[in-house]
Structure 1
Amino acid sequence: MSRERRPDPFAERPDRTVRPPKSIEPTPALAQDDLRGRRVIVGAPGLGWRYDLRADEKVVQGSRTYVPVIPEQDWYRAELEQVEVFAPLVPVERVWIERLAIAAQGDEASDSGSHLVSLDAPPKQRPVLATHVQRIVGRRLVQVIDGVERRDLRAVTETYTSSDGEVCIRIATELEWYRWVWSGQHAKTLEVPSRLLWLE
């Protein structure tokens, strides 16, 4: 008697093939208003870029405009504990806002293509499926569920096989990730299938 073949229980699940999240397009802060809390990149063409920073509102001193810029860890602590933190003033022309790209056809996730970039401005950041990354602990992630993007997440583990055989990563919100640094309390984490996670 031949045994009837059972279908793959995951084959019809819509989350098995997840569309990549939007890319991040650095945009000059010069033309932007309402910068408080926005994720920013600072640097200078040809010299390099710093990431994982947050901005406050612009400050005008004399004829120059500056942006107070705070490392994300300090920004989260200041917001949570209502404490003052030192924010260096960066000339506005050296600050770029991380803006989500408008979804466009053909805006594919990063693959094995060329990784060369221009040094004139911070490069566009295309998402990379978490399963394609070897070292992921501490990296920024996007979780995609039913087409909805959940951001401000960090990987707390590398990829591993869960008890039910799914390849997973434990993640935490950025607030939990950074609170772990200043409080010593382990972050509250969630086990998520790596196929639903993208490196920002």
Structure 2
Amino acid sequence: MTGPLPDPFADQPDWAPLPPRPIEIVPATGRIELRGRRVLVGLPGLGWRGDLRADERVVQGSRTYVPVIPEHEWYRAESEQVEVFAPLVPVERVWVETVGERRPAAARSPQSGVRLVSLDAPTHREPTPVFEADTVTGRRVVHVAESVEQRDLRAVTETYASADGDICVRVTSELEWYRWAWRGQTLTTLEVPVHLLWIE
């Protein structure tokens, strides 16, 4: 072998972890477990609505429907074991968020500028480092530490300087985030350095 060895950190600062696996959006018509999954509903060409959770498919006559619940109601129902109303949406109008495969750095698309998409199906952006975001409070974030991803988190602050001088964001679990809304209870948060957080 001649020549220098390739630098494995050439495209990535040594302090930055790999991004989390991206969210991929697939039709609910496929063979995929739906209960508790994040979903989007809508019609091609018109638009999409997110922050929803699904229950298992329901068949009525020859049609298949998906019970769809606003995410905050789903967490309340699961946490407090209460019944909530879930409208039935035709399965062909429901798309499911799944965690995709990790992509090599060369395959990731750049985030800057205008990105045109097709209106045929909902799309999702690549994970964005929190330190590149303009605002983070309330956003879904992924904590990546030593290639372990912790999902279902919400940022509860903007970036700030910690007592140790690190730039951090406080996060909480989504259950705590929504419980804060419906009960008003003080939530438990975790201080995480921004270089370990990604917007989902």
Say whether the fold is shared (TM-score over 0.5).
yes
Shift of 1:148: 0.7
User: How far apart, CA to CA, are the structure 1 residues paired with 2:111 and 2:197?
Assistant: 15
Unaligned runs of 5+ in 1: 1-13
Shift of 1:125: 2.7
User: After superposition, where does 1:5-20 map in structure 2 within 5 Å?
Assistant: 16-20=15-19
SS in structure 1 at match of 2:181: helix
Q: TM-score, normalised by structure 1?
A: 0.89
Equivalent in the alignment of 1:10 = none
Shift of 1:108: 2.3
User: How far apart, CA to CA, are the structure 1 residues paired with 2:14 and 2:140?
Assistant: 21
Equivalent in the alignment of 2:77 = 78
Equivalent in the alignment of 1:26 = 25
Shift of 1:111: 2.2
Q: CA RMSD in A?
A: 1.5
| Greater mean alpha carbon deviation, residues 157-166 or residues 110-119 | 110-119
Can you list the C-alpha shifts for 1:66-122, whole angstroms capped at 9, x where unaligned? 000001101111011000000010110010110111123234265215421111101
CA change 1:152–1:107 in 2 (3 A) is: farther
Equivalent in the alignment of 1:183 = 183
Equivalent in the alignment of 1:172 = 172
Equivalent in the alignment of 1:8 = none
User: How far apart, CA to CA, are the structure 2 residues paired with 1:170 and 1:31?
Assistant: 37
Shift of 1:33: 3.4
Structure 1 position 150 matched with structure 2 position 150: yes
SS in structure 1 at match of 2:69: strand
**Stretches (4+) displaced over 6 A:** none
Structure 1 position 115 matched with structure 2 position 115: yes
Equivalent in the alignment of 2:43 = 44
Unaligned runs of 5+ in 2: 1-12
- Number of residue pairs aligned between Structure 1 and Structure 2: 187
